[in-house]
Amino acid sequence: MVFYPGALVAPNSYSIWAKKVAQAGYTVKIAHFPLNMALFKIKAANQLIGSNEKYVVGGHSLGGAMAARYANQTKNKNMQGIFFLAAYPDEKGRLDHKDLAALSITATRDGVLNWKKYREGKKYLPANTTYDSIAGGNHGGFGSYGQQKGDKKATISNAKQQEIIADDLIKWLKKIE
């Protein structure tokens, strides 16, 4: 698994759910970007995967949009899927023509995600995309970096949101093995 963090979010902010996914037997590689902006290095996944390694790519917020652009552009046949944490593809990251497993997780108290663009972005996802919404979770809860400007207050703990994210990812990864 290669993960693209959200804009201006430190990579270690995702370590709680990433550790649980790793403990379930999956390799998790969190990309590091100049100025913590995936926009500056969309093809970062290429440097993190082995030449014959099967993998999935995903990201949070802007990181998810850039992961979609990577997935759209890559010719690597070993990429098995893509996941989005409070994220969506734009036209440059359209994946509706790709045979990929896809997972989209949102949170009901997310005050940062542009919900209109999220709904519009669904048309760019593969038809078999799995969706989940974390009741009471918020945008910042996809990592562990505190309250984000514009976000709503979560009604569940960060630990609970991290647990749900990890569980969703593990279930999805098991389905595509």
> pLDDT tens digits, residue range 120-141?
999 999 999 999 999 999 999 9
Residue % of the chain over a pLDDT of 90: 80
CA dihedral 67, 176, 107, 138 (to 10 degrees): -60
Residue % of the chain over a pLDDT of 70: 98
Q: What are phi and psi of 85, to 5 degrees?
A: -110, 105
Tokens representing 48?
Answer: 């993190």
Q: Give residue limits of the domains in the chain.
A: 2-176
- Domain 2-176 sits in CATH at 3.40.50.1820
Q: Per DSSP, what are the bridge partners of residue 4? A: 59
Tokens representing 67?
Answer: 């992961």
Instruction: Report pTM.
Output: 0.94
